[in-house]
Amino acid sequence: MADLGLEGRVAVVTGAGGGLGRSHARLLAARGARVVVNDRGTDRAGRGFGSDAADAVRDEIREAGGEAVASYDGVETWEGGQAIIGTALEAFGRVDAVVNNAGILRDVSFKNLEAEQLDTVLKVHLYGAFHVTKAAWPHLRANAFGRVLTTTSGTGLYGNFGQTNYAAAKAGLLGLTRTLAIEGAKYDITCNAVAPLAASRMTEDVLPGPLLDRLRPEWVSPLVAYLCSPACQQTGRVLVAGGGYYARVALLEGPGVTFEEVPAAEDLADRFEEICAVHGGQEPADLDDATRRVAAALGIEL
Ligand code: NAI
């Protein structure tokens, strides 16, 4: 079996005091990584604060013979991001991998959504990944090595009733992931997104019972460990993982329809099914590639 090369690497896992983050932190440590167990110890809605959750996971890792330190800073501020990475530098002198996992829920239908419910969810999920990754970025670049993970969600990919705030945050992470993959490439910094499916306090009353039994977070963590490792060169990927199921999600652009003259809106209405068809479509690698495809469809050589 391939050696992942995680030994001695320094990984920061946010929201590692429970659920998926705890499982990721434990597995990374078991593979020899030195881990910052970050958790603010909030409730599911992001309220409250406590150091017990992070401390408990740090202790579990140490008892199992691994190396870990606890961090209680919140990802929702720039200062929090700096402090979390500061803990890694202080304890271990470097940072190699950032697993942006901390999360909360403020589910509400769009009709009833209030500003605070939007702000709080965006701050933790979307801004949080910016804050922690931004603080780590100069160090990853300087080391010419980095593994960044974001935690997206089926909700961000496909939508879900009552979760416009969460869906927008999770979909926003895809833009961050794809673009960091491009900006990091020169420095061997990869960035990938994981859309997990796991039994946790976040999903215990949402997912169907028989599925929950199968969905221990431990099924997701091997993928996280691989994506954090030097062995993995994949970047800009979006992967679904849960209960032993692993798959890549891709954005396809259909073959499309081309007009030589500005069409009437009615012409588009007539051909809308064809325009929407994705069969035979392709997956653009990045914006340049997507633009080249449009140019090619228009018969323009770039
Ligand atoms: P969880 O609620 O067990 O864990 C989230 C952790 O984040 C908690 O320990 C909490 O204290 C911590 N946290 C909250 N706000 C924080 C902040 N501002 N700074 C630092 N830590 C903070 O939930 P779970 O299920 O383990 O979720 C982990 C991630 O996976 C989340 O981003 C979630 O949105 C995502 N996810 C989970 C799914 C699932 O099936 N469990 C499905 C899709 C996405």
Question: Which of the following is catalytic: 127, 166, 226, 246?
Answer: 166
Q: Give the end-to-end CA distance of the chain in Å, rounded to a whole number.
A: 45
Determine the pLDDT at residue 94: 98
Determine the pLDDT at residue 42: 97
**Does residue 156's CB lie within 6 angstroms of at least one atom of ligand 1?**
no
Determine the pLDDT at residue 159: 98
Residues of the chain with pLDDT under 50: none
pTM over cut 0.85? yes
* CA of residue 41 to ligand 1 center, whole Å: 10
Cα 107 to chain centroid distance, Å, stands at 19
Mutate to test the pocket of ligand 1, among 101, 157, 201 (most ligand atoms within 8 A of CB): 101
Check if the beta carbon of residue 147 is closer than 8 Å to that of residue 189: yes
Check if the beta carbon of residue 85 is closer than 8 Å to that of residue 48: no
- Dist CA 31 CA 217 (whole Å): 17
Determine the pLDDT at residue 149: 99
Q: State yes or no: is 226 an active-site residue.
A: no
Residue 201 CA, closest ligand 1 atom number: 3
Determine the pLDDT at residue 70: 98
* CA of residue 194 to ligand 1 center, whole Å: 13
Residue 43 CA, closest ligand 1 atom number: 11
Determine the pLDDT at residue 302: 85
